Amino acid sequence: MTEKFKLTQEEINLFESSIGNTQKLAQDTVVHKPLKRSQKAIAIEKRQHEKNHAEFYFSDDYQPLLQDDPIRYSRDNADPYEIKKLRRGFYEPEFFLDLHGLTQQEAKKEIASLITACLSENAHCACIMYGHGKNILKKQTPMWLAQHPNIICFHQAPKEFGGSAALLILFDTINN
């Protein structure tokens, strides 16, 4: 101890007399070992968390700047040639989602599940088919997709993948 904190014998005697007759306690600290979870359980939990929170990105009020005919979008920091490749059919979709007959809420959940599945499987391209119908999902789907941070770009699908009734989506699987 430094000189500043040294106690005199008189101070020590005063302390012992004020404490009285005491005994030193045995240390009874319990060390808890962390629970070991399997990698599979961790992956399942992470996927469930992502699925539950994927809808967080989709607002019905947000209006991104989209080009309507054909429907296309590219985020600001994306390579401009990626949307051209998508339009020309360079990418083949690995996942397909058919939204025919779904309500807006059901469609939003299905799109969130598709994005989660594509990111977990490292899929680069997916196709969403919404059909012609009343154009409700055709107008709303691009609005939702433009809000997600892992979507690089999307474009109206070529004829072999649904034409004007479908979208091809390109994902950023590196940053997920």
**pLDDT tier at 94 (50, 70, 90 boundaries)?**
very high
- Say if 161 falls within a structural domain: yes
Per residue in 32-86, pLDDT (tens digit) is 777 677 777 887 887 777 666 665 666 666 666 666 667 888 888 888 888 888 8
Total domains, the chain: 1
Looking at residue 78, which CATH number applies to its domain?
3.30.1370.110
- Say if 17 falls within a structural domain: no
Alpha-carbon gap, residue 109 to 55, rounded angstroms? 7
pLDDT at 140: 87
- Say if 15 falls within a structural domain: no
- Say if 125 falls within a structural domain: yes
pLDDT at 57: 66
Give the total residue count for the chain: 176
Selected residue with higher pLDDT from 46 and 166: 166
Nearest CA-CA partner of 110 in 149, 146, 137, 83? 137
Full residue range of the structural domain in which residue 103 is found: 39-171
Residue 96 vs residues 77, 92, 112, 114, 168: alpha-carbon distances, Å: 26, 10, 13, 8, 9
Pairing assessment for the beta strands 125-129 and 95-98 based on DSSP bridges? parallel
Phi, psi of 125 (to 5 degrees): -140, 145
pLDDT at 65: 66
Alpha-carbon gap, residue 86 to 125, rounded angstroms? 9
- Say if 25 falls within a structural domain: no
158 upstream amide cis, omega within 30 of 0 = no
pLDDT at 124: 92
- Say if 30 falls within a structural domain: no
**Per-residue DSSP letter, 67:** B
- Say if 107 falls within a structural domain: yes
- Say if 54 falls within a structural domain: yes
pLDDT surpassing 60 at residue 176: no
Per residue in 124-163, pLDDT (tens digit) is 999 999 988 888 888 888 888 888 888 899 999 888 888 8
Structure pTM?
Answer: 0.65
Alpha-carbon gap, residue 130 to 96, rounded angstroms? 11
